[in-house]
Amino acid sequence: MIEVKDITKSYGTKENKQQVLKGISLKIEDGEFAVILGASGSGKSTFLNVVSGLERADSGTVCYDDVDITKLSDNKLTAFRKETVGFIFQQYYLLPNMTVEKNVRMGAELASNKEYKEIINEVGLSDKLKKYPSELSGGEQQRVSVARALAKKPKVLFLDEPTGALDEDTGRQVLDYIAKLYKESDFTVVMITHNQNIADMADTVIRINSGRIVDISKNEVKKTAYEIGW
């Protein structure tokens, strides 16, 4: 379980300080599919970065079971990220001079998982192994980044607007691959979006506004990537 308690974070200097996270607390169970919903600028990315250990909060705690990652040294925090969490961002951040296979293998090697070819197959890219990112469409590049993130078998997959740069058809396809892999495996999903419709795919919907949680709700029935509105 991830347990977040009273997280605060500000940016800027003393005279020009902006409090972006104003005391956020929540729990996410193992295997849960949580969506964080909120308008642009509401603090979603900052929150995700703090919960995943990419950034440090000013105060508050973030516990993965009994490990409080806010107390870890920089080296230990890096090791934690390597072993425990995977990331997918709106921009794909693939290495341009490496093939699909090598990009995914790099993710797998982080956790010495040798089944990376299987995961490339699972996202429907086994015929693109030797292609470079520039030879792929946006949707295909995002599927490579899905494969790379999951190749190391993270316990928690963090996604920050994963379909933000994709058109509807491609966006649905990428979400469908993520949902399929989620069903087959046992990782936890924390996905940021500003698209209300995408929240219909989640177990739990956490609404953020101006650095605070304003609502948490559960979906009785989850929709598929092809059933949601867009």
Ligand X SMILES: Nc1ncnc2c1ncn2[C@@H]1O[C@H](COP(=O)(O)OP(=O)(O)O)[C@@H](O)[C@H]1O
Q: Is 13 in the site for ligand X (CB under 6 A)?
A: no
Between CA 161 and CA 83 the distance in angstroms is 23
Binders in 25-64 for Mg ion, by CB under 5 A: 44-45
For residues 48 and 188, is the Cβ–Cβ distance under 8 A? no
**Closest to ligand X by CB, 20 or 199:** 20
Strand partners, 157: 86, 189
Q: Which residue has the tokens 């605070």?
A: 212
- Binding flags for ligand X, 124-163, as an x/- string (CB under 6 A): ----------------------------------------
- Binding flags for ligand X, 16-55, as an x/- string (CB under 6 A): ----x-----------------x-xxxxxxx---------
Between CA 127 and CA 170 the distance in angstroms is 18
What type of residue is 177?
A: Y
Q: Is 11 in the site for ligand X (CB under 6 A)?
A: yes
**Closest to ligand X by CB, 40 or 134:** 40
Choose from ligand X, Mg ion, none: what does 81 bind? Cβ within 5-8 Å by kind.
Answer: none
For residues 124 and 143, is the Cβ–Cβ distance under 8 A? yes
Between CA 110 and CA 189 the distance in angstroms is 20
Q: Is 9 in the site for ligand X (CB under 6 A)?
A: no
Total residues in contact with ligand X, by rule CB under 6 A:
10
